[in-house]
């Protein structure tokens, strides 16, 4: 059974951003564990972001974007339009 | 993750307690997502305790009488002081704790919060005096006091609405 993601999550389920994170991460040859280590969070947090269940703080979003070599706008911006 | 310092910038004893308890720069709560879930869980537990403990005390003092008064009063004080710290903590961070509206949920919560303290006070008087007139007087006093408290909050709500309705300059 999948545990509930909890109350702290994106107000709008952002699966598109999550899919972009997963795609760019895979293109960059990173595993979820490696990305997690690079941005200093748990693998579960990366999984939650990729599922669109967790909207990270600005600080974490910047870390993720920089680690993946893209901008925050490229990851989370397009789905807002 | 960081917490903003209190609006006036001076670090107080409460700020130090909060920093220690929140473990902002530590690893007690994991990363930011895990931390937020911990905070959710802790807030939920606190919300339950804030209701359950006073109600338990209010009921217990009527059951066990005088011997239970001092221990239960101690528990309530220990319970109540952190609640006050919570109010001070958020107010120092420019959170207006005056209700903007009185929804049915808020009214219910206010009653559930205030009533056990009133019942406990009446129970204490009943357990210690055994005089029905004194108990009745305390009951009236507790009810009037509770009503005055609610009226005071209602006035604060009206003041808040008026304040927010007025045009205010930007806070720089």
Quote the radius of gyration of chain B (alpha carbons, Å): 20
Question: Average pLDDT over chain B, rounded to whole?
Answer: 87
Measured in angstroms, the CA of B32 and the nearest CA of chain A are apart by 8
Q: Is residue A58 part of a domain?
A: yes
Q: Which of B1, B33, B40 sits opposite A54 (nearest CB)?
A: B33
Partners of A44 on chain B (C-beta within 8 Å) are 33-34
Instruction: Tell me how many domains chain A contains.
Output: 1
Of the listed ranges B42-46, B101-105, B162-166, the least confidently predicted one is: B162-166
Measured in angstroms, the CA of A26 and the nearest CA of chain B are apart by 22
Residue appearing with tokens 């999948």: A2
Contact between B31 and A42 using a beta-carbon 8 Å cutoff: yes
How many Cβ contacts (< 8 angstroms) between chains A and B?
Answer: 31
The residue-averaged pLDDT of A9-29 equals 82
**Residue A78 pLDDT greater than 90, yes or no:** no
**Residue B152 pLDDT greater than 50, yes or no:** yes
Q: Is residue A10 part of a domain?
A: no
Better-predicted residue by pLDDT, B53 or B150: B53
Better-predicted residue by pLDDT, A79 or A18: A18
CATH value at residue A68? 1.10.260.40
* DSSP string covering B60-118: HHHHH-HHHHHHHHHHHHHHHHHHHHHHHHHHHTT---S-S---HHHHHHHHHHHHHHH
Q: Is residue A7 part of a domain?
A: no
Better-predicted residue by pLDDT, A46 or A11: A46
Q: Under DSSP, is residue A5 helix (H, G, I), strand (E, B) or coil?
A: coil
Query: pLDDT band at B2, cuts 50/70/90?
Result: very low
Contact between B33 and A41 using a beta-carbon 8 Å cutoff: yes
Which pair of tokens denotes residue A74?
A: 């490229």
In chain B, where the domains are located: 13-165
Partners of A45 on chain B (C-beta within 8 Å) are 31-34
Q: Under DSSP, is residue A77 helix (H, G, I), strand (E, B) or coil?
A: helix
The residue-averaged pLDDT of B60-84 equals 94
Report the pLDDT value the prediction gives residue B25, as an integer from 0 to 100: 83
ipTM given for this complex: 0.74
Query: What distance in Å separates the CA atoms of residue B112 and residue A63, rounded to the nearest whole number?
Result: 45
Range of the domain at A22: 15-73
Q: Is residue A78 part of a domain?
A: no
Q: Are B45 and A11 a contacting pair, CB within 8 Å?
A: no
Contact between A6 and B32 using a beta-carbon 8 Å cutoff: no
Q: Is residue A48 part of a domain?
A: yes
Q: Are B102 and B154 a contacting pair, CB within 8 Å?
A: yes
Report the pLDDT value the prediction gives residue B60, as an integer from 0 to 100: 97
Query: What distance in Å separates the CA atoms of residue A14 and residue B144, rounded to the nearest whole number?
Result: 51
The residue-averaged pLDDT of B78-84 equals 90
Task: Please identify among residues 19-38 of chain B the ones whose CB lies closer than 8 Å to any CB of chain A.
Answer: 30-34, 36-37
Query: pLDDT band at A3, cuts 50/70/90?
Result: very low
Report the pLDDT value the prediction gives residue B135, as an integer from 0 to 100: 81
Q: Is residue A79 part of a domain?
A: no
Query: What distance in Å separates the CA atoms of residue B60 and residue B72, rounded to the nearest whole number?
Result: 8
């Amino acid at each position: 059974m999948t545990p509930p993601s909890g109350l702290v999550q994106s107000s709008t389920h952002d699966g598109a951003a999550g899919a972009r994170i997963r795609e760019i991460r895979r293109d960059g040859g990173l595993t979820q564990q490696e990305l997690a280590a690079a941005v200093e969070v748990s693998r579960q947090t990366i999984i939650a972001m990729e599922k669109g269940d967790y909207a990270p703080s600005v600080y974490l979003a910047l870390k993720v974007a920089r680690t993946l070599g893209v901008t925050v706008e490229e990851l989370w911006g397009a789905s807002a339009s | 993750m960081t917490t903003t310092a209190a609006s006036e910038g001076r670090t107080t004893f409460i700020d130090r307690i909060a920093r220690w308890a929140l473990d902002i720069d530590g690893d007690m709560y994991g990363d930011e997502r895990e931390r937020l879930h911990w905070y959710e869980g802790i807030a939920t537990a606190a919300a339950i305790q804030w209701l359950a403990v006073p109600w338990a005390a209010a009921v217990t003092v009527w059951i066990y009488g005088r011997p239970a008064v001092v221990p239960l009063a101690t528990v309530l004080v220990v319970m109540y002081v952190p609640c006050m710290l919570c109010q001070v903590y958020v107010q120092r961070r420019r959170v207006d704790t005056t209700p903007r509206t009185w929804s049915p949920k808020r009214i219910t919560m206010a009653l559930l919060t205030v009533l056990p303290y009133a019942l406990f006070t009446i129970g204490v008087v009943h357990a210690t005096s055994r005089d029905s007139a004194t108990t009745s007087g305390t009951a009236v006093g507790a009810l009037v006091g509770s009503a005055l408290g609610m009226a005071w909050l209602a006035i604060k709500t009206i003041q808040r609405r008026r304040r927010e309705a007025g045009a205010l300059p930007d806070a720089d």
